[in-house]
Structure 1
Amino acid sequence: MNKLFVLIIGTLLLLALLVSCSGKKEVDSEKTNTNSDDKLEISIMMHFDGIEFPQKGNDVEKEIEEYTKSKLDIQAAPGATFSEKLPAVVASGDMPMVIGMNQFREPYMINALRGDLFWEIGLFLDQFPNLSSINSVIYDNISLDGKTYGLPRVRPLARDIYIYRKDWLDNLGMEEPKTVEEFYEMLYAFSYNDPDQNGKDDTYGMTVEKEGLINRFAPLFGAPNGWEEKDGQFTHTTSTQEYLDGLNFFKKLYDNGLITKDFAVIERSQWEEAFALGKAGVWPDTSNAIVRMYNRIREHEPNVELGAFSLLEGPHGKRVAAGGGHNGIFVFPKSSIKTEEELIQVLSFFEKLQEEPMHTLFKWGVEGKHYDLVDGKPILNESADLHNEVILPYTLPLGIVPAEENALVGDISQLEQLERELPVENEEFAIHNPTTKLISDTQAEKGPQLNTIISDANIKYIMGQLDEKGWKKEIDRWRTSGGDKMAEEYAQEYAKLDK
Structure 2
Amino acid sequence: MGAAGAAGIAVAGGAALTGCGSGAGTGGGAAASEKVKLPTFVAAKVPKPDLPGNEQGLDAGYLRYPKNLVPEKGEKPGDGKPISVLTETFTTMPPAMNRNAHWQELNKRVGSEINMTIVNGLGEESVYRSKFNALIAGGDLPDLMWFPPNQGLKNVPQLLEAKFHDLTPYLSGDAVKEYPNLANIPPYAWKTAVVNGRIAGYAVPYGRMGQVYVANEDFWKPVGGLEFDSAQDFFDKAKDLLDTKRRKWVLEPAYANHVLQFAMWHGIHNGWAEQDGKLTYMYETDAYLAGLEFAVKCEKAGLFYPDPNLRTTLEKLGGGFLGVHVQSFPGFLNDANMYDWPMKTIVPFAAEKGMDPSWLLGYGSVGYTAISKNVPKKRIKTLLKVLDYMSAPMGTETRLFLNNGIEGTHWERNKEGDVILTKKGNAEALTTRQPIDFFGNAPQSLYLPGKADLTRSIHATEVELLKLGKANAATGHFSDTDASKGASALTELQDGIKDIVSGRKPISSYRKEMLPKWRRQAGDKIRREYERAIEKGK
The TM-score, its normalising length taken from structure 1, stands at: 0.79
- Aligned with residue 353 of structure 1, among 377, 390, 393: 390
How much has 1:99 moved relative to structure 2? 1.7
Percent identity reads 19
Q: Pick closer, same or farther for the CA change 1:260–1:411 going to 2, 3 Å.
A: closer
How much has 1:471 moved relative to structure 2? 2.1
Match of 1:164 in 2: 215
- Letter of the structure 1 residue corresponding to residue 385 of structure 2: S
The separation in 1 between residues aligned to 2:120 and 2:216, in whole angstroms, is 34
Contact 1:101 1:330 in 2 (8 A): yes
Unaligned runs of 5+ in 2: 1-75
The structure number with the bigger radius of gyration is 1
Higher helix share: 1
Say whether 1:458 aligns with 2:497: yes
- Aligned with residue 235 of structure 1, among 280, 299, 304: 280
How much has 1:306 moved relative to structure 2? 3.1
Contact 1:218 1:224 in 2 (8 A): no
Q: Pick closer, same or farther for the CA change 1:410–1:342 going to 2, 3 Å.
A: same
Match of 1:110 in 2: 156
Deviates more, 1:177-186 or 1:84-93: 177-186
Contact 1:157 1:423 in 2 (8 A): no
Unaligned runs of 5+ in 1: 1-34, 195-199, 299-303
User: 3-state DSSP class of the match of 1:348?
Assistant: helix
Say whether 1:384 aligns with 2:435: no
Match of 2:535 in 1: 495
Say whether 1:60 aligns with 2:102: yes
How much has 1:105 moved relative to structure 2? 6.8
- Letter of the structure 1 residue corresponding to residue 376 of structure 2: K
The separation in 2 between residues aligned to 1:410 and 1:293, in whole angstroms, is 13
- Letter of the structure 2 residue corresponding to residue 243 of structure 1: Y
The separation in 2 between residues aligned to 1:448 and 1:287, in whole angstroms, is 21
The separation in 1 between residues aligned to 2:251 and 2:433, in whole angstroms, is 34
Q: Pick closer, same or farther for the CA change 1:289–1:213 going to 2, 3 Å.
A: same
Match of 1:29 in 2: none
- Aligned with residue 39 of structure 1, among 80, 88, 105: 80
The separation in 1 between residues aligned to 2:488 and 2:300, in whole angstroms, is 28
- Letter of the structure 1 residue corresponding to residue 143 of structure 2: M
User: 3-state DSSP class of the match of 1:206?
Assistant: coil
Q: Pick closer, same or farther for the CA change 1:307–1:470 going to 2, 3 Å.
A: closer
Q: Pick closer, same or farther for the CA change 1:68–1:324 going to 2, 3 Å.
A: same
Q: Pick closer, same or farther for the CA change 1:410–1:53 going to 2, 3 Å.
A: closer
How much has 1:258 moved relative to structure 2? 1.3
Contact 2:362 2:471 in 1 (8 A): yes
User: 3-state DSSP class of the match of 1:437?
Assistant: coil
Contact 1:371 1:378 in 2 (8 A): no
Contact 1:277 1:297 in 2 (8 A): no
Say whether 1:338 aligns with 2:376: yes
How much has 1:272 moved relative to structure 2? 4.5
Say whether 1:439 aligns with 2:478: yes
The separation in 2 between residues aligned to 1:178 and 1:102, in whole angstroms, is 37
The separation in 2 between residues aligned to 1:143 and 1:234, in whole angstroms, is 20
- Letter of the structure 2 residue corresponding to residue 42 of structure 1: I
Say whether 1:94 aligns with 2:140: yes
Q: Pick closer, same or farther for the CA change 1:190–1:497 going to 2, 3 Å.
A: same
How much has 1:344 moved relative to structure 2? 0.9
- Letter of the structure 2 residue corresponding to residue 486 of structure 1: I
Q: Name the structure, 1 or 2, with higher relative contact order (CA <8 Å, separation 6+).
A: 2
How much has 1:327 moved relative to structure 2? 2.3
- Letter of the structure 1 residue corresponding to residue 322 of structure 2: A
- Aligned with residue 145 of structure 1, among 174, 196, 206: 196
Deviates more, 1:148-157 or 1:460-469: 460-469
The separation in 1 between residues aligned to 2:86 and 2:102, in whole angstroms, is 18
- Letter of the structure 1 residue corresponding to residue 211 of structure 2: D
Question: 1:188-199, aligned counterparts within 5 Å?
Answer: 188-192=239-243
Match of 1:258 in 2: 303
How much has 1:104 moved relative to structure 2? 7.2
How much has 1:232 moved relative to structure 2? 0.9
Match of 2:67 in 1: none
Match of 1:287 in 2: 329
- Superposed CA RMSD in Å reads 3.2
* 1:137-179, Cα deviation, whole Å (9 max, x unpaired): 1221332223221223322222322222222233x16222254
* 1:184-227, Cα deviation, whole Å (9 max, x unpaired): 344333314x9xxxxx4310112132411223332331222222
Q: Pick closer, same or farther for the CA change 1:110–1:162 going to 2, 3 Å.
A: same
Q: Pick closer, same or farther for the CA change 1:213–1:367 going to 2, 3 Å.
A: same
